[in-house]
Amino acid sequence: MNMMKTISKNDMKESNRMSILKTVRKGVCSRAEISAALGLSKPAVSALVDELIREGLVYETGRGDSTEAGGKRPILLDFQADAALIVAVSFNNKRYEVALTNLVGKVMFYVKKKIIIAEDYRQTLDLIVQDIRQLIQEAGEQGFKQPVISCGIAIRGLVDTKNGIMRYSAAIPWTDAPIGDYMKECLGIPIFIENDARAGTYAELLHSNGEYKDALVCVSVGLGIGTGVVIHNEVYRGAFDGAVNFAHSTIAHDGPLCSCGNRGCWDALASITALGEELTRRDSKYASLDFEAILGLYHDGDPVVADVLLNHTGYWLGVGIANILNVFNPEQLIIQGEITNAGQELERKIIEIVQKRALSAVSKGVKIGFSQDSDKLQVRGAAAVISKHFFSDTYHRIIWK
Ligand SMILES: [Zn+2]
């Protein structure tokens, strides 16, 4: 009985501490404002704020204006986003990226390399771990002495986030690979893995600071296509962690062969890989060009590239997005990833097709457009997953001991 009482008191304290941390993170405020916002006594708030200051998560940032009643000007508090470092990793079948970020996903150190997909996932991960260690060492040499607290990994494919397992990827030949456990063994910190499109969606949520009230859809277009759906500020995961996967929906029943074995998947029509394949079908001189080179030709006025980019990729992206709007009726749909480097003409083309094809009741009010910031999206997504966990009651103490 006594034991239960103690636990519940601790839980309460922990829950209040988290509420204060979240409040300070939303914006600079005073102890009195926290006390009023959370309905906690001033002494309780002061004691917990002092604890957060000692831990380095909150700092005093000067004095605010005095209240109408007069008196001393209150000391203002702010969240110390640089109190710790997060390791953020992303990989697909072509390359991997590693970054060190602060607690709100700001990239501070970064490296991107070609990946070697070995049959044994551990061999590939060993190379990534080397780069992580290298970046941590560099950070240390440059005076960053903060603790490295957790690692987020964004992966192309189906993942079991709870158990840290990569289930299946059409592009990478590993099945049921326990990536979380292996990386934890290597790095000695908590590891969280996530599907890369959902990670990109977390990055968008972190960036918007909870601006979306109803539904948001993120469509990430790179070598493959990924989709993430946010409903009432929560990323929708589905019953078995597989939602939302539009990439392998059949869009054209007799379309090109997809890496999954099917025909006419959205991924096989509208991804950057599909763009390269369509260009090669038109003329073999476009074979083996990467997207940067293709965009170079587009900006130089190559008519074939412009036609394929707008009337093939743009068209099929529009068709797929119209389907998504009909299903989710979001208030906003953000297109992210490398494709956004193609610029406004493609963005306009996609919107034009969507407006023609989606039901007007769902397409009328929706904001559709390229993300404001697709730079290093995948690693920012991996970091956003850790940042979200850092501020959650469930995971905070696993990450921040
Ligand atoms: Zn497919």
State the distance from the centre of ligand 1 to the C-alpha of 67, rounded, in angstroms. 62
State the distance from the centre of ligand 1 to the C-alpha of 161, rounded, in angstroms. 22
State the distance from the centre of ligand 1 to the C-alpha of 367, rounded, in angstroms. 28
State the distance from the centre of ligand 1 to the C-alpha of 263, rounded, in angstroms. 7
Among residues 335, 311, 305, which one has the least CA distance to residue 321? Answer: 335
Please tell me the distance from the alpha carbon of residue 48 to that of residue 9, in angstroms, as a whole number: 14
Helix, strand, coil abundance in the chain, percent, nearest 5: 45, 20, 30
State the distance from the centre of ligand 1 to the C-alpha of 262, rounded, in angstroms. 5
State the distance from the centre of ligand 1 to the C-alpha of 17, rounded, in angstroms. 46
Please tell me the distance from the alpha carbon of residue 180 to that of residue 76, in angstroms, as a whole number: 40
Spatial neighbors of 198 by CB under 8 A, at least 6 apart, are: 226, 228, 235, 237, 381
49-58: Cβ within 8 A, 24+ apart: 49/20, 49/77, 51/17, 52/17, 52/20, 52/21, 52/24, 55/83, 55/400, 56/80, 56/83, 57/21, 57/83, 57/400, 58/21, 58/24
Predicted local confidence at residue 21, as pLDDT: 96
Q: What are phi and psi of 279, to 5 degrees?
A: -60, -40
63-70: Cβ within 8 A, 24+ apart: 64/30
Residues 351, 334 contacting (CB under 8 angstroms): no
Please tell me the distance from the alpha carbon of residue 202 to that of residue 105, in angstroms, as a whole number: 10
pTM: 0.90
State the distance from the centre of ligand 1 to the C-alpha of 250, rounded, in angstroms. 8
Residue 307 corresponds to which amino acid?
D
Predicted local confidence at residue 2, as pLDDT: 55
State the distance from the centre of ligand 1 to the C-alpha of 182, rounded, in angstroms. 29
Residue 132 corresponds to which amino acid?
I
State the distance from the centre of ligand 1 to the C-alpha of 273, rounded, in angstroms. 12
Q: What are phi and psi of 215, to 5 degrees?
A: -135, 140
Spatial neighbors of 356 by CB under 8 A, at least 6 apart, are: 318, 322
Predicted local confidence at residue 361, as pLDDT: 79
Residue 388 corresponds to which amino acid?
K
State the distance from the centre of ligand 1 to the C-alpha of 279, rounded, in angstroms. 19
User: Which pLDDT tens digits describe the chain residue by residue (401 residues)?
Assistant: 455 556 688 889 999 999 999 999 999 999 999 999 999 999 999 999 999 999 999 999 988 887 766 778 999 999 999 999 999 999 988 899 999 999 999 999 999 999 999 999 999 999 999 999 999 999 999 999 999 999 999 998 899 999 999 999 888 999 999 999 999 999 999 999 999 999 999 999 988 766 676 899 999 999 999 999 999 888 999 988 888 889 999 999 999 999 889 999 999 999 999 999 999 999 999 998 999 999 999 999 999 999 999 999 999 999 999 999 999 999 999 999 999 999 999 999 999 999 999 888 778 889 999 998 888 999 999 999 999 999 999 999 999 98
Predicted local confidence at residue 4, as pLDDT: 57
State the distance from the centre of ligand 1 to the C-alpha of 379, rounded, in angstroms. 25
State the distance from the centre of ligand 1 to the C-alpha of 393, rounded, in angstroms. 38
Direct distance between the N- and C-terminal alpha carbons of the chain, in angstroms, rounded to an integer:
27
Residues 226, 90 contacting (CB under 8 angstroms): no
Element (H, E) at 384: helix 377-390
State the distance from the centre of ligand 1 to the C-alpha of 105, rounded, in angstroms. 32
Q: What are phi and psi of 90, to 5 degrees?
A: -140, 145
Residues 339, 222 contacting (CB under 8 angstroms): yes
| Number of neighbouring beta carbons within 10 Å of residue 346 | 21
Predicted local confidence at residue 269, as pLDDT: 98
Predicted local confidence at residue 22, as pLDDT: 94
State the distance from the centre of ligand 1 to the C-alpha of 264, rounded, in angstroms. 7
Using DSSP's 3-state secondary structure scheme, residue 292 falls into helix
State the distance from the centre of ligand 1 to the C-alpha of 242, rounded, in angstroms. 15
Predicted local confidence at residue 36, as pLDDT: 96
Please tell me the distance from the alpha carbon of residue 301 to that of residue 310, in angstroms, as a whole number: 13
State the distance from the centre of ligand 1 to the C-alpha of 246, rounded, in angstroms. 9
State the distance from the centre of ligand 1 to the C-alpha of 48, rounded, in angstroms. 52
State the distance from the centre of ligand 1 to the C-alpha of 267, rounded, in angstroms. 6
Q: What are phi and psi of 138, to 5 degrees?
A: -55, -45
Ordered by where they begin, the domains of the chain are 2-79 (1.10.10.10), 85-200+378-399 (3.30.420.40), 211-373 (3.30.420.40)
SS3 per-residue string spanning 48-80? HHHHHHHHCCEEEEEECCCECCECCCCEEEEEC
State the distance from the centre of ligand 1 to the C-alpha of 247, rounded, in angstroms. 7
Predicted local confidence at residue 210, as pLDDT: 63
> With b meaning 16 or more CB within 10 Å and e meaning fewer, what string describes 157-182?
bbbbeeebbbbebbbbebeebbbbeb
State the distance from the centre of ligand 1 to the C-alpha of 148, rounded, in angstroms. 38
Token pair of 317 as six digits: 């992206």
